[in-house]
Structure 1
Amino acid sequence: MEWALDFIELTKIFGVKLVDAEDFLELVLRFSFNMIITVWIVRYIYYPITKRKEYLFTYMLFSVIVFFLCQLLSNVKLGLGFALGMFAIFGIIRYRTDPIPIREMTYLFVVIGISAINGLANKKVTYMELVFTNIIIASITYGLEKVWFTKHESRQTVILEKIELIKPENQQKLIEDLRERTGLNIHRTEIGRIDFLRDTARVRVFYYADEGTESSIQEEREQRTED
C-alpha cells in the first residue's frame, strides 16, 4: 500500500505532481474549517432573521469560489494587493447589479473576508491565530444581531391616497393613519414618488418586527422599482 502511495506522489503529468498528500490534506482541512464558519454565520445568524434564501445561496457559493481562488493562487506572490483587489472587484457588484440592502452587502463582505483570510493565510500564520480570527469575526456578528440589536427594523412600501398627509406638518397624522390601516407599529416614514394626477404617493414605512418578519422579496422589488 505504501509503495502505491509513493508512486502516486512521485507521478508527474507535464511536470506537475499528480498529488501532494500533505498539501491536499491541508486544503481539505482549511476548506472544511472555512465552510463551518461560513455556515455558522450565514445559516444560523443571518438566515433566521431575514429568511432570504436567495442570499443564502449567494453567500455560500461566494465563500467556496473565493476560498479556492485564494488558496490555489496563494503560491503566487500576490499577497495583500491581491486580497484588496478581491474586495474591489466584488465591491463593484454593488453598483453593476440591482441594489443590495446594506445588511446583505455587509454579510457579503464578511463572507468574502473570511474566505480570503482562510485561503491566503501562509505558514507564518499559526492555526491558533487563524481559528481565533474566525471565531472573533463570527462572535461579533452574532453579538450584533442577536444580543445588542435585538430589534430589527423592517420596511414596506405602500400607496397613499390621502396625499395631503405628506405635508411636513401632518407627519404625526400620517403615521397614525398608517398604523391604523396597516396594523403595524410604524415609527417613521419616507415619502417617495408623488403622482399629483392620481393624488397618490409612495410612502416607505419603517417598523420594528420580530425575527423572520423582514420585508418579503416582492416588497424589495417594489422598492427597487421606486428607486
Structure 2
Amino acid sequence: MLQVLGFRELGQMIYTPVWHAMQRFTNERGTSAQDEVWLVEHQPVFTQGQSGKAEHLLLPGNIPVIQVDRGGQVTYHGPGQLVAYLLIDVRKLGLGVRDLVSRIEACLIELLANYGVSVVTKPDAPGVYVDDAKIASLGLRIRHGCSFHGLALNIDMDLRPFLRINPCGYAGLAMTQLRDHVTSIKFAEVSARLRAQLVKHLNYAEQITLTDGID
C-alpha cells in the first residue's frame, strides 16, 4: 500500500495553464515525487484528444477548441463539472492502463451509488453511464510510467454545449448529470467523496491537502 495521496483544490481555472502544469509535473517528477490529484472546474472549453476527428466538432461556436495529448476524442468541460487530474506513478501502483481505468470507474460507480444513482460501464467506451446517458468521462495519458489527465464528472452544469459535438466521438450520445437524479446536491460534498473513493480504490493509506501553487 502506498502511503499518501495529495490533493489540490484548484477552484475554477482556464484549461490551458492547468494542462501545461500537468505536463511539467509529469516530465520533471522524480521517482520519489508524491502522487497527486488536482480537482478543478474549467471555464467552457472543448478538448480534442489524440484520436479526435474534426467531423465530431459540429458547431463549437465561441467555445475554444484545444488539441490535447490525452487519449480519446472530443469532450466538453465547463462550470459545474468536477474534473480530477490523476498525476500518478502507475509503475509504483503496479497497474496496467486498463486496470487503472477500471479502478477509476469503480470509484465513480461507488460514489454515485452513495447518491442512489445506479450506473454502468461499457467495455468499448470508457466512462460511466446512467442507462445510455453518459455522466462521467475518462481520458488518460501515460508518460514515463506516470499518468496525467483523468476524469470529468457532470454534477450541476449546463449540458447544452455537448450538443455542439459528438461527445467522445459518438453521434447523438446523450449526456446527463448528478443534478438530474438527486434532489439536493453540494459540489464540495461530491468532491470530498470522490477524494475518499480515489484513496480507497487506488490503495493509498491516507490523503492530504496540498496548498502550494501548481506553477
The TM-score by the shorter chain falls in which range?
under 0.3
Q: Which has the larger radius of gyration?
A: 1
Structure having the higher helix fraction is 1
Q: Structure 2-normalised TM-score?
A: 0.28
- Greater relative contact order (CA < 8 Å, ≥ 6 in sequence): 2
Write 1 or 2 for the structure with the bigger share of strand.
Answer: 2
